[in-house]
């Protein structure tokens, strides 16, 4: 698939999902592994590579056609050329042959499920796995730009229990990428408009930093803190950016109070 076509498709999807850009689209293809969010996007380009290799590999006569095609075939639309491009991309990013990956039994799922997993899924996963480190770095760099420790954030993310509701994980993802649409952000974006005060305490300008320490939020926290076995004071942005060493359950509890607020 030509790069321009991929870009065209991705920009249409991006405009549909977020009117104001706050994150690179590619990252949303990896939020399953990084955040445990179940509704990750599928990478258009990698899907294309994986489906091409999977469907060619499944038919001997097509592969024979590929093998019989003279080297140096020029046409961009010739099937053998497309196969060759996809093959080299896969080899370069994963270091493995398509057939090798298609046969490989997955390790992240149960053995029963992985036996029935399609070649396409295995190929796609191998390609996505190969790209993930770059996207993890993207997350570390983004939070690092705001002065937070990306490594700590990653480590604490992995400690969160699997029971954390999906909505809470989305909330965290948005906070980490500075995405929540607070009144202060709208005022900045629109221009010439006074930022409104926080609807909870009606005292200060509504920003995400204020929200993390809003007296009304802290008051709500104080009421549930003891019963829920949470630390006496929530850590504000420190907690939301997962900068503290705490067990996953406690972290999830504090985050839940913030989400509720
Ligand atoms: Zn407030």
Quick check: helix, strand or coil at residue 122? helix
Please give the average per-residue pLDDT across 164-186, as a whole number.
Answer: 83
pLDDT band at 133 (very low <50, low <70, confident <90, very high): very high
Q: How confident is the model at residue 107 (pLDDT cuts 50, 70, 90)?
A: low
pTM over 0.85: no
pLDDT of residue 181: 64
CA count, 13 A, side-chain hemisphere, 12: 6
Q: Is a pLDDT exceeding 60 seen at residue 49?
A: yes
What is the CB neighbour count within 10 angstroms for residue 121? 16
The residue among 74 and 173 whose pLDDT is bigger is 173
Residues 120, 97: Cα–Cα separation, whole Å = 14
For the chain, the domains span: 3-145, 150-260
Q: How far is the CA of 197 from the centre of ligand 1 (A)?
A: 8
Helix ranges (H only) for the chain are: 3-17, 31-35, 44-57, 60-68, 79-94, 98-103, 111-116, 119-145, 150-159, 166-176, 183-190, 208-213, 215-228, 237-240, 248-260
Give the model's confidence band at 31: pLDDT under 50 very low, under 70 low, under 90 confident, else very high: very high
For residue 20, report the distance from its CA to the centre of ligand 1, in Å: 24
Which residue has tokens 């999977």? 54
Q: Provide CB contacts within 8 A for 90, sequence distance 6+.
A: 49, 53, 96, 97, 98, 101, 123, 126, 127
Cβ(166)–Cβ(38) under 8 Å? Answer: yes
CA of 95 to the centre of ligand 1 (A): 52
- Which of 38, 217, 75, 244 is closest to 152 using CA atoms? 244
- Cα separation of 204 and 145, whole Å? 25
Q: State mean pLDDT over 80-103.
A: 87
Distance 218 CA to ligand 1 centre (A): 9
Ligand 1 centroid–CA 81 distance in Å is 60
- In angstroms, what is the span from residue 184 Cα to ligand 1's centroid? 12
**CA dist 60 → 20, 66, 78, 210 (Å):** 47, 10, 17, 62
Ligand 1 centroid vs 187 CA: distance in angstroms?
A: 17
Per residue in 185-228, pLDDT (tens digit) is: 666 666 666 667 888 888 888 788 888 889 988 988 988 888 88
* Spacing, Cα 203 to ligand 1 middle (Å): 6
Whether the predicted pLDDT of 112 surpasses 70: no
Provide mean pLDDT across the span 58-84.
74
Cα 221 to ligand 1 centroid, rounded to whole Å: 13
From ligand 1's centre to the CA of 249, what distance in Å?
Answer: 26
**What rounded mean pLDDT belongs to the chain?**
84
CA 34, 37, 42: angle at the middle one, nearest 5?
85
Distance between Cα 178 and ligand 1 center (Å): 18
**pLDDT class for 77, splitting at 50, 70, 90?**
low
Q: Assign 72 a pLDDT band (cuts: 50, 70, 90).
A: low
How remote is the CA of residue 213 from the centroid of ligand 1, in Å? Answer: 8
Rounded alpha-carbon distances, angstroms, from residue 175 to 23, 178, 198: 11, 5, 17
The predicted pLDDT at position 76 comes to 59
- Is the Cβ–Cβ distance between 79 and 62 less than 8 Å? yes
Average pLDDT over residues 63-69: 76
């Amino acid at each position: 698939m030509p790069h321009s076509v991929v870009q065209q498709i991705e920009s249409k999807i991006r405009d549909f999902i977020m009117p104001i850009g706050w994150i690179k689209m590619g990252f949303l293809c990896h939020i399953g592994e990084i955040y445990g969010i179940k509704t990750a996007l599928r990478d258009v380009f990698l899907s294309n590579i994986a489906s091409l290799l999977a469907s060619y590999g499944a038919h001997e006569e097509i592969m024979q056609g590929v093998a019989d095609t003279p080297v140096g075939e020029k046409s961009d639309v010739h099937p053998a050329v497309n196969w060759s491009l996809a093959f080299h991309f896969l080899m370069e990013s994963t270091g493995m042959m398509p057939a090798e990956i298609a046969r490989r039994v997955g390790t992240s799922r149960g053995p029963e499920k992985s036996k029935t997993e399609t070649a396409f899924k295995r190929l796609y996963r191998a390609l996505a796995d190969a790209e993930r480190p770059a996207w993890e770095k993207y997350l570390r760099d983004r939070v690092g730009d705001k002065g937070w420790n990306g490594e700590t954030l990653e480590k604490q993310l992995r400690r969160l229990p699997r029971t954390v509701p999906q909505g809470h994980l989305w909330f965290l993802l948005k906070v980490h990428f500075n995405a929540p649409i607070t009144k202060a952000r709208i005022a900045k974006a629109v221009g010439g408009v006074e930022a409104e005060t926080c609807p909870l305490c009606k005292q200060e300008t509504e920003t995400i930093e204020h929200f993390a320490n809003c007296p009304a939020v802290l008051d709500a926290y104080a009421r549930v803190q003891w019963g829920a076995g949470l630390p006496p004071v929530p850590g504000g942005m420190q907690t939301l950016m997962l900068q503290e060493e705490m067990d996953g359950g406690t972290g999830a509890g504090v985050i839940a109070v913030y989400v509720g607020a």
